[in-house]
A and B are shown apart, each in its own frame.
Chain A
Amino acid sequence: MRRLLIALMTLVMATPALADCPLDLGRGTGWVVFSDHYMIAFRPDPVRVEVGEPFALILNVCTKGGDPAELVAVEAQMPEHKHTMNYKPTIVASPDGRYRAEGLVFHMPGRWEISFDVRAGEESERLSHDIILK
């Protein structure tokens, strides 16, 4: 346990971008997705996503190099059935640097793929994450 703590502290101290981009959004739950350039930490609000019930996502979007990053869009679809949500989320940037994507509803059980369009300067990218809803 002590070794793990030391390893984590070393990682945070050695990587300023990570220190500036807290991936723990509180409540002890959430996901992290990353690519070569970006990291996104997000958690739902309320914490438990229910079929047919609106929810929001709280997100931290960062670049691994520490450059400012922007969340441009959040979308979700069921890849098997090729349909999106019946609702279009809106994104609001909070003063604390986090984003809140409001108005998501997963209206069926099954696999949902959430996609995040992010941008840093001229570069943009789409990251995605699967959630199985039962």
Chain B
Amino acid sequence: MIRLLLALVLAASAATATGASAQSLLDWTEEEVRSIGRHGPWPPPPVRDPSNRISGTPAGILLGEHLFNEPRLSGDGKMSCATCHQAGRDWSDGLAKAQGTVELDRRTPSLWNVGYSHWFGWDGAGDSLWAQSIRPLLDAREMNGGAPRVGALLRDDRAFACGYEKAFGAAPGRDDELLLVNAAKALAAFQATFVSPRTPFDDFRDALLAGDRDAAARYPLSAQRGLRLFIGDASCNACHFGPRFTNGEFGDVGIPFFVRPGEVDSGRLGGLTRLAESPFNLLGKFNDDTTGENARRTRHVRRLHTNFGEFRVPGLRQVGRGGPYMHNGSFATLEDVVKHYSEVNPDRLHSDGVPLVRPLALSTDQSADLVAFLRSLDADVPPRPAVPPLCP
């Protein structure tokens, strides 16, 4: 009798649990499941950049980590890459405007998953992670270093010279420009390892695709409703597409162009000019990919008048842990960002066709749902291990 009662109680509990999970899973259509599936799987395979021969090599990554934390690369010996791209701040700095030797006009972008991009910087002036890594080293407003400084460090510092030889198979020579490029390739190899962990969204996505309704139902309802908006009425996934939640391209989302009275940030338009003028772009002699395959975007990209005021579509993984937001740090919180898309002025966007960005007119609940979804793209990050020496 006791056994029978126990069995009945267990059966009732199981039925309740099943009922509860069925209630906490939205009725997703096949089309929606397909759309959700496009945001994974996560993580992707490790980065191998054919333009960078030390990409993915342990010696290259280690050299890059040491260089990343090295203030002697800067003009005043006080600033390293890690000054702005801080591991403890999701590879950014928490500031609205980046701080170099002066305050800059744009925010320090997070470096999470940066190795999977194909355009770099807010304006896409870099077509490889190593080319982009050269820019702040040389820019007088940022690290204000220079090729001779990088060359001297790699040649004269015994540990760096040893680490360089391990990474590149030859001791550093006298060509400072080549040493600058190779230092940037090591920096890129290191940055390409910044892959964000799996998130509650990834567990939901995988469970939904596998038909595991109980596991999928563990994903909060508010996040599910926000996701439905994201891939549905709000069409956020038109640009925030794919596993990284970005198509890697550029858009004008209604943020003011002016940085000071009478001065504008032209965004992608200026970036394309700098890309074409750069001796370090993928059409140049420093590209290690002799097939030219990886330079296809650079070869074919075109300047359009609509590029004015466009900025790179950022990936959304770890987005809730960052902020301020937008290329110029003009919004402090995720709630502010959602409010912007809810109320954006359509007259500012000059779209001839169906506008990609339009005022969504979200209710308070819808806004909260969208934020809940965005926060489900966050994951805690394990502490980083101590950096091993270059040449023990």
Contacts and interface: CB of A to CB of B under 8 A. Distances in A.
A51 B353 contact: no
A109 B238 contact: yes
Interface string B350-362: 0111111000000
A82 B353 contact: yes
B306 interface: yes
Interface residues of B, number: 26
B300 A108 contact: no
Interface in B221-277: 237-239, 241-242, 247-250
Interface string A65-89: 0000000000000111111101111
B301 interface: yes
A102 B300 contact: yes
Contacts of B356: 81, 108
B242 A51 contact: yes
A57 to B, nearest CB: 13
A110 B241 CA distance: 12
B3 interface: no
Interface in A39-62: 51-52, 54
B89 interface: no
B346 to A, nearest CB: 14
Interface string B293-308: 0001101111010100
A54 B245 CA distance: 18
A54 B249 contact: no
Given A103-B299, A109-B241, A110-B238, A52 B354 contact: no
A99 B297 CA distance: 20
Interface in B320-374: 351-356
A14 to B, nearest CB: 41
B351 A52 contact: no
A84 B352 CA distance: 12
Q: Which of B241, B300, B355 has its CB near the most chain A CB atoms (within 10 A)? A: B300
A128 B17 CA distance: 54
B353 A80 contact: yes
A79 B352 CA distance: 10
Contacts of A15: none
A25 B260 CA distance: 56
Nearest to A51: B241
A134 interface: yes
Interface string B6-24: 0000000000000000000
Interface string B29-43: 000001100100000
Contacts of A54: 296-297, 300
Interface string A85-121: 0111110000000000011010111100000000000
Given A51-B247, A52-B241, 4 more contacts: A81-B356, A84-B304, A89-B300, A107-B249
Interface of A: 51-52, 54, 78-84, 86-90, 102-103, 105, 107-110, 134
